[in-house]
Structure 1
Amino acid sequence: MATREERPLFSFGIIADVQYGDLDDAMNFTQTKWRHYRNALYLLREAVQHWKEENRIQFVLQLGDIIDGFNTRRKNSENALRDVLQEFDGVPFAVHHIWGNHEFYNFSRNYLMNSPLFTAQENATDVEEVVKKEADAAYYDFSPYKGYRFVVLDNYDVSMCGIGRDKDSPQYKEAEKILRQVNKNEELNSPEGLVGVDRRFVMFNGGMGEEQLQWLRETLEVARQQGEKVVVSGHVPVHPNSCYVMCLLWNYQDVLKILQDFSDIVLAYFSGHDHGGGYHYDSGNEIHHVTLPGVIEVPPGSNAFGTVDVFSDRLVMHGVGQLESRVMK
């Protein structure tokens, strides 16, 4: 009788919403949970040390919001970014950084494109030669192991968030049009008066433009032709059952449709943004939607990160602290 393989094909680390700042603890915007800004750096350090001691991961998916937006009020954004990135100095694995809303509270898109948080260029693959992208695109794909492709999305491609997009840019104007059609509040970060999934139409979320959606379709088609399995990741969740609805991507239906059209090769979608975390198995399409808890709201004494082992028939997530372990077939 054949036995199940014991060693994974490869492994990767995963973490979300560190939101570090040299700031005293404070309540979140809903006044429901404490945010531990300084402690977040220690938890990131603990995660990196854990992965180094495990000595088996090929890369880390850092799912965005690595520093907190309050840093910009104290003009401390660059120092905070330096502090968190120092934790990855000399690590024996790659780090893939995804951009969330807090990146854009601190930095312009142009700044990020020229910073260590822009990991698209250094990880470009042969598929990039087949599928063209916008000049300032932060979305990309990479292949860590033969037969597997990881797709990293830019969920704030269409956005009014922070200083990310210039107010004269087509993407900013499109974002403003989308928001104001649904959200009639003067404060566009308020969901007051919005019901159900419409509560996602707030300024701290974003959307993906048609060029990126087309790139995603074409990249998945190339992966299908090459017989590859695919894992997709972004800062913002795309399934309403995997998160609090106020944390959904504006045009989540467009992304879901594409993932479901390629359900024969797409295994999972990993995201952050909703600090409470979440999980949903789209059983009709056999796609796992995993939303990681936010490190920033983890109290001292716990943590929220994990290591994912990839086998030929399953993903096994080994969670630490508030990230639940699970087997995803």
Structure 2
Amino acid sequence: MATIAITETDSTDLKPIVSFGLITDIHYANQDDRWNYSKTFLRRYRNSLNLVDQACNYWLNGIHPISFIIQLGDIIDGSCQTNETSTDDLKLILKQFRDFSPIYHIWGNHELYNFTRNELLNGPLCSFDTKNISPGHYGTLLVCPNLRIIAIDTYELSLLGIDKNNENYIKAMNLLKEYNKNENVNDPTGLDGYQQRFIKLNGALTHKQLLWLKEELMKAKHLHEKVIIVENIVTASVEQEFSFCANLEYAGHIPIHPKAGDELALLWNYEDILDILWTVDNTVLAYIAGHSHEGAYFYDEKNIHHLTLHATVECEPDTNAFATVHVYKEFLIIQGVGRIGTYRIDLSNRNE
């Protein structure tokens, strides 16, 4: 089988089978600009409205019409809750997407700072049929023949958005306390290497969701479908207004591969997910996420592309960060704008 490479590429004049938009880490809030915790990037909260408007104009006037948008999470900032403006700010940023439909929303940690899981399940950010998986929020989307997107819920097992008496909250706390002996479970002090991931900012898939993911991938393999997995786990910001542990020195994303990010930024049960993804050879094309605001890329040992998109909220005034995926018979083009590059994933010979 040929090695699948993701590389910078020029745009193509071919007509795609289907196209769709990607955007993440909008972090809209009606508040003044503020530095992130590490003082490396200025977060322009109000400017996010303008950037989403620009992205929508780009998609509306593009050569190839888009069929849907995937919003990869953190659509509003956690500080909205502090100012009691969560609902109003969410309505305002959603208006910027105008008449685009459908829009599939992935939940990030900032959604869970602003709303409980039950509120999200009954609100405009619920994008999947959760009748049999509530309070989980995950599902699949058949993009076109032979290509499926699987959206996973990387906070189903966590301390965010659920009551302290909830079974998953108790399991999450017990898991953290097994490794993290600090009084503040957001504090990684004393944790070494990859064990630094056991902090409150992170989360995991439940056993039920892992079984579902395995079943979906086995179905896709049987049908000779290719799969793109999208997720949005977090660390997002470690800013003073959220009273997070001062030991954390940066805003980062939690990948599912230890070489795709900082040791602090890993899903609690990343090994379980990788084991599942790696059992279905040549089925999973890419794992696309947000929350590592500077963007990232890693090509793993099983030919899976881990692509993290840059944050919208940290764009300079004269740039942006969003992408359009164009699906062709033998390859995908992920065409980035602004801070996001343009990439190609070849599909040829993946069934051999």
TM over 0.5: yes
2:221 corresponds, among 221, 224, 235, to 224
Equivalent in the alignment of 2:175: 178
Contact 2:142 2:149 in 1 (8 A): yes
Gaps of 5+ in 2: 1-11, 234-254, 347-352
Equivalent in the alignment of 2:349: none
Q: 2:171 aligns to what SS in structure 1?
A: helix
Contact 2:52 2:97 in 1 (8 A): no
Contact 1:263 1:287 in 2 (8 A): no
Distance 1:208 1:83 in 2: 31
- Please tell me the residue identity of whatever aligns with 1:321: G
Equivalent in the alignment of 2:162: 165
- Please tell me the residue identity of whatever aligns with 2:78: G
Q: Percent identity?
A: 40
- Please tell me the residue identity of whatever aligns with 2:302: N
Equivalent in the alignment of 1:25: 33
Q: 1:253 aligns to what SS in structure 2?
A: helix
Distance 1:106 1:296 in 2: 17
Distance 1:5 1:229 in 2: 23
Contact 1:306 1:320 in 2 (8 A): yes
Q: 2:156 aligns to what SS in structure 1?
A: coil
Equivalent in the alignment of 2:321: 304
Q: Are positions 1:80 and 2:89 aligned together? A: yes
Length-normalised TM-score, structure 1? 0.90
Distance 2:260 2:331 in 1: 19
Residues 16-57 of structure 1: CA distance to partner in whole angstroms, max 9, x if unpaired?
Answer: 111110011112133332211111221112112211111521
What are the equivalent positions in structure 2 for 1:142-161 lying under 5 Å apart?
142-161=141-160
Equivalent in the alignment of 1:321: 338
- Please tell me the residue identity of whatever aligns with 1:299: E
Higher relative contact order (CA 8 A, sep 6+): 2
More helix by share: 1
Contact 1:242 1:291 in 2 (8 A): no
More deviation in 152-161 or 50-59?
A: 50-59
Gaps of 5+ in 1: 125-131
Shift of 1:242: 2.5
Distance 1:175 1:312 in 2: 43
1:187 corresponds, among 184, 189, 211, to 184
Contact 1:61 1:96 in 2 (8 A): yes
Paired residues, number: 313
Equivalent in the alignment of 1:96: 104
What are the equivalent positions in structure 2 for 1:1-329 lying under 5 Å apart?
6-54=14-62, 55-91=64-100, 93-121=101-129, 133-161=132-160, 164-236=161-233, 237-282=255-300, 284-329=301-346
Moved beyond 3 Å, runs of 4+: none
- Please tell me the residue identity of whatever aligns with 1:192: T
Distance 2:258 2:340 in 1: 19
